């Protein structure tokens, strides 16, 4: 683990009053069924043959655990076609962010229903809200494109995907304990649709159907109950373009902007590559010529430096609220693209090229790679094909 100098990373501090019983009315069976995408993974045979109540309890239990309430318990019951959740071991008021999320979910469902009524819904898509994430003790917000289908149909965990796993590893590299990364990964997908990884291009045409949901969730997630503003990372070109269309500023990779989801609230936003972009950028098939492998390695190293810098900014801003966004970014890029560039190189070759630590160290000591490391801040080499809409 690399601990970034100048950042004091603290554990989640939980309320001393975290022993209340909170009762939440979730709504009718029909409402809860659609908002929790029930049944999550059934066709003829159910992968997990859970009841609606068990499904809801599963996601709510994920939330209380990720908020840091290890002893909290969730019980979900149905009474006269209405579902209720009893959550013990959490503070008073814990029901409010959950109810707000479900209310936003109603807006998303209305958008999805309109999309389907107009014949634009695809059979391989699944309506999926960002369930199971930290509701109260959030540290930062991640703005992404859409969740992969297997997060719903296989994992039943919004934070279980190759994308989120890779980014969590970068947060731990920047000093965040592995058990605390979920608090930093509160996700808003601008398309609340679990879909195959190849669906990015098709989903670019659906954003307007979810405008009310998107802006409502950004407003909710970007502030804590105490009124503190949380940093946001915008991942991937479609998301960065959406920021410009919705809020005005242009956000480049490692570019900073500020948006105002509501009057008087200014949220710092950092542009980033999509966490999965590195596998495209570092793929020799993305380039032409006899030097395709060298181009792929050079591109992968640059993207790795950018990604580590972005995760560093997210870790620093999330662990020390109120820090200067630009100063934090300057420190992070200096660390990963200059002073610790050899570490950046070794992390690329171990995590992306699957080399051992010894092999990676030897590779990064070669003259050819040392030369590439001098160009970490240079533009990426031109690829032979356009990047996917990640």
Q: What averages of pLDDT result for each successive group of 10 residues across the chain (390 residues)? A: 45 48 96 97 90 98 96 97 97 95 98 97 97 96 97 96 97 97 97 95 94 97 89 97 96 97 93 97 94 95 97 97 94 97 98 98 96 85 74
Return all residues near 331 (Cβ < 8 A) that are at least 6 apart.
4, 6, 312, 316
Q: What are phi and psi of 300, to 5 degrees?
A: -60, -40
Question: Beta-strand (E) ranges in the chain?
Answer: 20-28, 73-79, 82-90, 126-127, 141-144, 186-189, 193-194, 232-235, 256-259, 267-272
From the list 286, 276, 289, 297, the residue with the least C-alpha distance to 375 is 297
State how far the Cα of 226 lies from the Cα of 339, in Å rounded to an integer. Answer: 37
Residues forming beta bridges with residue 85, ordered by sequence position: 24, 76
What was the pLDDT predicted at 240?
97
What was the pLDDT predicted at 388?
79
- Structure-block tokens of residue 205: 């045409």
Specify if 8 maps to a domain: no
What was the pLDDT predicted at 6?
44
Q: What is the CA radius of gyration of the chain?
A: 21
State how far the Cα of 281 lies from the Cα of 303, in Å rounded to an integer. Answer: 8
Specify whether the CB–CB gap between 230 and 222 falls below 8 A.
Answer: yes
What was the pLDDT predicted at 275?
97
Specify if 349 maps to a domain: no
Specify if 300 maps to a domain: no
Please report which residue ranges of 188-340 form alpha helices under DSSP H.
200-203, 211-221, 237-247, 277-281, 292-319, 325-334
Specify if 122 maps to a domain: yes
Specify whether the CB–CB gap between 70 and 5 falls below 8 A.
Answer: no
State how far the Cα of 160 lies from the Cα of 133, in Å rounded to an integer. Answer: 11
State how far the Cα of 324 lies from the Cα of 330, in Å rounded to an integer. Answer: 10
- Residue 220 domain boundaries: 20-286
Instruction: Please count the structural domains in the chain.
Output: 1
What was the pLDDT predicted at 19?
60
Chain centre distance of CA 240: 14
What was the pLDDT predicted at 385?
65
The whole-model pTM stands at 0.93
Number of neighbouring beta carbons within 10 Å of residue 48: 14
């Amino acid at each position: 683990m690399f601990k970034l100098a100048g950042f004091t990373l603290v554990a989640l501090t939980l309320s001393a009053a975290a022993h209340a019983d909170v009762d939440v009315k979730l709504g009718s069976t029909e409402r809860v069924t659609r908002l929790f995408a029930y049944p999550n993974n059934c066709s003829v045979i159910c992968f997990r043959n859970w009841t609606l109540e068990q499904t809801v309890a599963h996601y709510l239990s994920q939330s209380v655990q990720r908020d840091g309430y290890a002893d909290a318990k969730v019980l979900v019951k149905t009474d006269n076609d209405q579902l209720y959740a009893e959550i013990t071991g959490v503070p008073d008021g814990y029901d409010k962010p959950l109810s707000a999320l479900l209310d936003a979910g109603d807006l998303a469902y209305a958008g999805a229903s309109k999309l389907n009524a107009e014949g634009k819904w695809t059979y391989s898509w699944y309506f999926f809200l960002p369930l199971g994430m930290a509701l109260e003790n959030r540290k930062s917000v991640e703005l992404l494109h859409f969740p992969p289908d297997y997060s719903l149909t296989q994992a039943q965990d919004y934070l279980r995907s190759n994308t989120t796993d890779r980014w969590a590893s970068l947060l731990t590299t920047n000093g965040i304990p592995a058990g605390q990364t979920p608090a930093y990964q509160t996700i808003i997908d601008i398309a609340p649709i679990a879909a195959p990884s190849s669906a990015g291009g098709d989903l670019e045409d659906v954003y307007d159907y979810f405008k009310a949901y998107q802006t409502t969730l950004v407003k909710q997630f970007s502030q804590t109950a105490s009124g503190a503003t949380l940093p946001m990372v915008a991942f991937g070109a479609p998301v960065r373009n959406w920021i410009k269309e919705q809020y005005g500023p242009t956000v480049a990779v490692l570019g900073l902007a500020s948006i105002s989801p509501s009057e008087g609230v200014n949220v710092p936003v950092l542009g980033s590559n999509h966490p999965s972009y590195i596998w495209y950028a570092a793929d020799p098939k993305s380039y032409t010529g006899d030097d395709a492998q060298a181009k792929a390695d050079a591109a992968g190293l640059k993207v790795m430096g950018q990604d580590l810098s972005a995760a560093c900014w997210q870790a620093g801003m999330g662990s020390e609220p109120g820090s200067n966004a630009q100063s934090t970014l300057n420190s992070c890029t200096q660390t990963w693209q200059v002073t610790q560039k050899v570490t950046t190189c070794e992390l690329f070759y171990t995590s992306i090229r699957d080399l051992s630590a010894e092999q990676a160290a030897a590779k990064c000591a070669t003259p050819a790679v040392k030369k590439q490391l001098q160009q970490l801040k240079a533009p990426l080499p031109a690829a032979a094909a356009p990047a996917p809409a990640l």
